[in-house]
Structure 1
Amino acid sequence: MNQLYTQVNIDARGVATLTLNRPEVHNAFDDAMIAELIAVLKDLANNDKVRLLVLTANGKNFSAGADLNWMRSMAQKNYQQNLNDAAELATLMHRLDKFPKPTLALVKGAAFGGALGLVACCDIAIAEENASFCLSEVRIGLIPAVISPYVMRAIGERESRRYFLTAERFMAPKAKKLGLLHEVVTEGEMSDVAETLINTMLQNSPAAMTAAKALIHNIYNRKISNNVIAHTEQAIAEIRVSPEGQEGLTAFLEKRKPAWLGKEDA
């Protein structure tokens, strides 16, 4: 596909790097960029060569959130048009959240508004210590509606009450305390920390990581009922008899590297 607002690179290991590429507007997104991201994520999810997704951005800032011109145009449209527009953003968030392979967000500079949704949808998020975050919607008479399920899942209801209502800017160390980030790194340290995490995940069974993500999505926040217990029983039984489950167990018992590790990895 012809990419105008993003860049995609898939290295020999199967690590796909998806880069937001509108640095001239601080990677703010509009309807066209959202549509492109949806299409790219679909292609990457269906690409058997992709084992892991890294989400990053060109320029000084990760993303300023919604593009001002786009917001201005939406203000002139009716309810149904705004509903359709919101559905596209919701599709983007859902597609990233349910991406079948591990996802890693690398944040530099500002991540405002909807950008927090992208960060919250990734499995792991790392930011430089001078990165800043803001749920700024109420300042312009809006609310962080579409991203709210993902942000609230990350930081909890109590903290959401504060930051949804105050639109305060907070820095990366605070974002880590809130649960939005997993790691905060010094400037220039991002690549090394990211590579350590990437290499760690590349040692793991691709099918098992996909199944582990599905397990989390299926049982998180549910009451421990007979249905949930049955689901966990079925999940472990299915993975044990799967090709990678069989290979992994056999390799472990035979004290050798599993087949999903190439010769270079082994």
Structure 2
Amino acid sequence: MNQVYTQVSIDQRGVANLVLNRPDVHNAFDDQMIAELIQELEKLASNDQVKVLLLSANGKNFSAGADLNWMRSMAEKDYGQNLDDANELAMLMHKLDKFPKPTVAIVQGAAFGGAVGLVACCDIAIASDNASFCLSEVKIGLIPAVISPYVMRALGERQSRRYFLTAERFNADIAKQLGLLHEVTSVSELADKANGLIDNLLQNSPAAISAAKALIHNIYNRKISNNVVAHTTQAIAEIRVSDEGQEGLSAFLEKRRPNWLAPKPQDN
């Protein structure tokens, strides 16, 4: 039986932790890990118990990128087989990017190559101050093609021109300046920082969060046109008349907790 390269747990709050679990090879990913991640993302996306998704990794490093043996096998495959492999990786990035619940990447140590794409696909990314990043593909005669739409969205074209071409390593503080990360903290405080963000997310309407994510995907980088304006007006009208929209507005006006939050002990 093959070793499982990922771990999944869901706590009582509805926080799912999807963990890269190949610490012996710095969580380098291959076709098996990619397939497992896709499968788990699909299951978690359809699970109504899940409110937030954490993407994390066991061991000292988040991920060293592509597995050496996997890359060796790709060198022996023809164009069609390489296209199939690339399509699987593209599907993983797409599934993570369009995951309907909020996603938080927690990064420690190295995040190289395709791992930078995973970080860029998450809604929120935090890292320890010992984290480092590298878009290393050109060093071995390749390009960061599949991850490029997500990484360029985070870094912008100008910075992508530098880091795609130089393949230089950059630290967590630079990654934050570039827009890849939202927060940098010490290793010892990483879990607390993540939990603080999760607490904020869990206060909010699950339906509204999903709708807000869809809004961003639909509106970002589009010219403000009549179609865009119409989309936004329809979006707010739809959410206002939705069950959670009605509940949220009523709770606000009545100065009570909305029903997606558990009552406070003193409210019982």
Deviation at 1:264, TM superposition (A): 5.1
Counterpart residue number, 2:76: 76
User: Can you list the C-alpha shifts for 1:92-148, whole angstroms capped at 9, x where unaligned?
Assistant: 000000000000000000000000000000000000111000000000000000000
**Which residue identity is paired with 1:166?**
T
Q: 1:181-260 counterparts in 2 under 5 A?
A: 181-260=181-260
User: Can you list the C-alpha shifts for 1:73-104, whole angstroms capped at 9, x where unaligned?
Assistant: 01000000000100000000000000000000
Counterpart residue number, 1:157: 157
Task: Percent identity, please.
Answer: 77
Counterpart residue number, 1:121: 121
Counterpart residue number, 2:17: 17
Consecutive unaligned residues of structure 2, counting only runs of 5 or more, are none
RMSD: 1.1
Q: CA distance change for structure 1 residues 3 and 210 in 2, over 3 Å: closer, same or farther? A: farther
d(CA) in 1 for partners of 2:108, 2:232: 38
Deviation at 1:263, TM superposition (A): 2.5
TM-score relative to the length of structure 1: 0.98
User: Can you list the C-alpha shifts for 1:12-47, whole angstroms capped at 9, x where unaligned?
Assistant: 000000010000110000001100100000000000
d(CA) in 1 for partners of 2:131, 2:191: 15
Aligned partners of 2:257 and 2:263 also within 8 Å: no
Deviation at 1:186, TM superposition (A): 1.3
Consecutive unaligned residues of structure 1, counting only runs of 5 or more, are none
Deviation at 1:208, TM superposition (A): 0.2
| 2:49 is aligned with 1:56 | no
1:64 match: secondary structure: coil
TM-score relative to the length of structure 2: 0.97
User: Can you list the C-alpha shifts for 1:208-241, whole angstroms capped at 9, x where unaligned?
Assistant: 0000000000000000000000000000000000
1:54 match: secondary structure: strand
d(CA) in 2 for partners of 1:57, 1:37: 12
Aligned partners of 1:3 and 1:36 also within 8 Å: no
**Which residue identity is paired with 2:147?**
I
Counterpart residue number, 1:166: 166
Counterpart residue number, 1:261: 261
Counterpart residue number, 2:40: 40
Deviation at 1:187, TM superposition (A): 2.0
Aligned partners of 1:208 and 1:244 also within 8 Å: yes
Aligned partners of 1:138 and 1:165 also within 8 Å: yes
**Which residue identity is paired with 1:114?**
G
Counterpart residue number, 2:103: 103
Aligned partners of 1:26 and 1:62 also within 8 Å: yes
